[in-house]
Amino acid sequence: MEKTKYNIVLRDGCDQNHFLTEGDGKGLEVVDGLSEIKGLILLNLTYDEAIRLADSDDVSAIEIDLPKVSTSLYPPTTPLKSLTVDLVALTSYPTPYTEFVGKFASQFFHFMSDIPLRGAGNTAPLGYFASEDGRSNDEVVTQNYAGDYVDIVAVEAGTPDSGLDGYENHPDWDNEAGDATRFVKMDWNTYAGGPSGITAIENIQATNNTRYLDDHAIGVLSVAGGKYCGWAKVSSLRVIYLNVDSDSAVYNAILAWHNSKPINPVTGKKNATIVNNSWGYTQAFSAAIPVDAISSIQAYDTANNSVTISRPGSSWGTDLTPFYNNSIMPRILRDPDTNVYGWYITRDPYQVTSSTLSSILTAFNSAGGIYFVKSAGNSTAVGVKTDDPRWNTRCFTSGSFSYLVVGNTSGQVTITKNSNGSSNVPNFYPLRVFAESIPDMINVGAMQHSTANPLPDAYSSRGPMIDVFGPGNYTWAAVPQQVYSGGPVAPPGWPGGWFGGTSCAGPVIAGIAALMVDHFFVQRGVYPTIAQLKNLIISNAVSRVQSQSLANETAYSNSPPFSYTDSAGTVRSRTSSRLRFNTTEPYAILSGSFWNGGLSLPDLGTTLPRQGFIPYKIRLGNGKYISDVRGPAYGSRPANGQTYPRRKIKIGPN
């Protein structure tokens, strides 16, 4: 009988060894004992065995190992009409083919940090970086902190390509001296908690020496820790894949490696680990319920106050603001039987948080010095986290009604009709999401590279679950798309190109996090807790992201499809957009659209408008002495130990 991998979450107090040797788990096939994650086991089960375990008093939850996809987008290579933003007065960013050579750094540096002073001697446009002597110099990015004591691991859902073997020698991954790569091939199977835990060839990298990179992983590591494209310019870089090995086995291996790291002789402690997670499950919602089938909303606010809002009669009429104002984003779908558009409310297929990921994050917290950055996804999901009272916001339905079943076939949206609504879709929680709802995650949405139009990328998931936004589409990275002509940065033939999606936004924030961890450690001699790092990221963010507001937020029109009346009484098309890539059907979930990036939701709703930011006080901050090694400020790195104040790292001409 066919078997499938399941994650088994044991109840508190259950002894795992007893469960497997004498309890309800006796005789079942163990894939990985997950030694680093308390109360979690990975088993290979038949359907009947899974059903039997579900009834066990020792089992809290059983979760099948779900398929995953990368949360990236690769936009067209045609250059945009203009990359000018209002930070760069009377000038514009270079074309993608010249950015490496012309600016020596990815464009997001120019709006994700600041400069200390703008005195008379500094004539650089606001947002550019000044040289040390205060002269105008828009080609230098100067950092004192760059992730020295941080190792970055990218958890990926792609399929590596042997044609990319050797790509780790790309100059974007060079060390400071430029004589070695910072990418480390890992035999992750040596850290597995069982003989079958890690078996994929792409996760046994040092031994096999092939198929350890794909273009998505390259983009992620470039914008997180690239010498020219990322913030964590000196962090070591690693990758592990989920496409064959299960989630729990992969994170258990990362934890085992983290917990067994050697002591860094400079600091007397092992390095911190930032785990970037630019992947998501394949489907954000499974059903869409007509708004008029919802009889009432039990809405919670952040203070856990609740209010019940009842439908006025048999219809909500033309005012859907009770949904919008309570984080519930109405969407436009087309009835496949009648071809009539209407407003619907979507629901997550699970209505619970992932017990597996919750167990993993608990283990991260216990280990200390390891952090989980999560790309929010490209399917326009709207959600909250489990510690937010709005998690319990609920929609109540009444009577019989038809609803739409939203499916996924080969990555594309399918829509069918089901008329048994009152029994199949009863009361539901519209703000619950499965994977991104865990409080200890740092959740990242995607936005545009602009302060003139600082909009969320239309595909990005959002809602109160988003901690910060990072740059999404049209982010320059060392991805193997285009080959530039060479120059002072690298020899001819090394490629670069556009990277995008929340897969890009997440690792950019992971790079910022590396600097914050680095700075925190140097100042205090300990690594921040997950909560402390999250607070640093949020408290240093800038309130910049704006809502597209194609729907009238004060009178959310219940009259689709794609027009609205603005406050001046003018009827406007919803297709007009300030987005860099045009979207013709905002708010719509249409059959045939791609799940990963094909849907559009321009409004922020109740998403907080925070853009990730690394202030100069951290980027250029000095440290305290944490050893007896001393030397001249900004001098060469000593052979042993580290000199403070820290030396500056420059990316650009001398």
Question: What DSSP character marks residue 648?
Answer: P
Pairwise CA distance, residues 22 & 20, whole Å: 6
Tokens representing 90? 């009377």
Helix (H/G/I), strand (E/B), else coil: 387: coil
Establish how many alpha carbons lie within 13 A of residue 20's alpha carbon, considering only the half-sphere containing its beta carbon.
17
- Pair 258, 367: CB distance under 8 Å: yes
Strand 4-10 to 394-397 pairing: unpaired
Token pair belonging to 119 = 């005195």
- Please give the pLDDT value at position 555: 39
Domain boundary among 65, 81, 102: 65
β-pairing, 59-64 vs 279-281, is unpaired
Domain boundary among 65, 81, 105: 65
Q: Sorting pLDDT into bands at 50, 70 and 90, what band is 576?
A: very low
Q: Where are the beta strands (DSSP E) in 535-647?
A: 542-543, 563-565, 571-573, 610-611
Strand-pair partners of 63: 7
Tokens of 441: 């995650």
Domain end residue (candidates: 14, 47, 65): 65
Neighbouring CB atoms inside 10 A of 576's CB total: 11
In terms of DSSP bridges, do strands 442-447 and 370-375 run parallel, antiparallel, or are they unpaired?
parallel
Segments in 43-113 forming alpha helices (H): 47-54, 99-103
Distance CA 138, CA 131 (A): 8
Binned at pLDDT 50, 70 and 90, residue 601 comes out as confident
| Among candidate residues 460, 462, 286, the one with its CA nearest the CA of residue 379 | 460
Q: What is the mean pLDDT of residues 335-361?
A: 91
Least confident of 8-17, 223-232, 576-585, 593-602: 576-585
Domain assignment present for 214: no
Expressed in angstroms, the distance from the first to the final Cα of the chain is 66
Q: 476 and 99 in contact (C-beta within 8 Å)? A: yes
Tell me the three state secondary structure of residue 471: strand
Nearest to 382, CA basis, from 509, 285, 503, 508: 285
Chain position carrying tokens 């045009």: 582
**In the block, which residue shows the tokens 């997670």?**
277
Judged by DSSP in three states, 246 sits in coil
Q: Band of the pLDDT at 298, cuts 50, 70, 90?
A: very high
- Segment 355-367 mean pLDDT: 95
Give the strand pairing for 306-310 and 272-277.
unpaired
Write down the residue that tokens 């003139």 correspond to: 452
CATH of the domain at 15: 3.30.70.80
pLDDT tens per residue, range 544-561? 898 876 554 443 444 444
What does the alpha-carbon distance between residue 541 and residue 143 come to, in Å, rounded to a whole number? 18
Question: Could you tell me if residue 421 is inside a domain?
Answer: yes
Percentage of the chain lying above the pLDDT 70 cut: 75
pLDDT of residue 300: 97
User: What is the residue type of 496?
Assistant: G
CA distance 476 to 485: 16
What pTM value is reported for the model? 0.85
Residue 319 lies in a domain: yes
Phi, psi (5° rounding) for residue 478? -85, 30
Task: Kindly state the DSSP code that residue 111 receives in the 8-state scheme.
Answer: G
The answer to which of 13-17, 432-436, 470-474, 516-520 has the lowest mean pLDDT is 470-474
Local confidence band at 193 (pLDDT 50, 70, 90 cut-offs): confident
261: amino acid identity, one letter:
K
The Cα-based distances of 328 to 335, 376, 499 in angstroms read: 21, 17, 30
What integer pLDDT is reported at residue 488 of this predicted model?
34
- Does residue 322 have a cis peptide bond before it, meaning omega lies within 30 degrees of 0? no
334: confidence class by pLDDT, cuts 50, 70, 90: confident
- SS3 at position 313: coil
Residue carrying structure tokens 């050579």: 101
Which has more pLDDT, 48 or 317?
48
Given its phi and psi angles, is residue 185 left (phi above 0), alpha (psi -120 to 50 degrees) or beta? beta
- pLDDT tens digits, one per residue of 465-495: 999 999 988 787 888 865 544 433 344 456 7
Rounded Cα distance, 70 and 156, in Å: 7
Band of residue 383 on the pLDDT scale cut at 50, 70, 90? very high
Helices of type H across 327-397: 355-367
What DSSP string describes 272-287? EEEEEE-EEES-S-SE
Chain-wide mean pLDDT for the chain? 79
Q: In the predicted model, is pLDDT for residue 34 greater than 80?
A: yes
Q: How far apart are CA 536 and CA 438, in angstroms?
A: 18
* Domain count within the chain: 2
Assign 3-state DSSP to the chain and report helix, strand, coil percentages, each to 5.
20, 25, 55
Do the domain assignments include residue 154?
Answer: no
* Inter-residue contact 412 to 590 (CB < 8 Å): no
pLDDT at 569: 54
> For residue 599, is it within any domain?
yes
Q: Which whole number is the average pLDDT over 258-283?
A: 93
Whether the bond between 645 and the residue before it is cis, its omega within 30 degrees of 0, is yes
Mean pLDDT lowest among 250-254, 403-407, 590-594:
590-594
76 in a domain, yes or no? no
What is the mean pLDDT of the segment spanning 381-386? 96
More confident residue, 569 or 405: 405
CB 509 within 8 A of CB 442: yes
Is the per-residue pLDDT at 85 higher than 80? no
Q: pLDDT class for 340, splitting at 50, 70, 90?
A: confident
Banded pLDDT at 419 (limits 50, 70, 90): low
Model confidence at 57: pLDDT above 80: yes
Pure H helices in 574-654: 616-619
Residue 149 has pLDDT above 80, yes or no: yes
Name beta bridge partners: 141.
Answer: 651
In a domain, 77, yes or no: no
- Whether 331 maps to a domain, the answer reads yes
Alpha helix ranges (H) inside 353-476: 355-367, 421-424
Q: How confident is the model at residue 310 (pLDDT cuts 50, 70, 90)?
A: very high
591: containing domain? 287-354+386-429+545-611
> What is the largest distance, in Å, between two alpha-carbon atoms of the chain?
77
> To the nearest 10°, the Cα dihedral for 51, 53, 57, 61?
-80
Q: How confident is the model at residue 304 (pLDDT cuts 50, 70, 90)?
A: very high
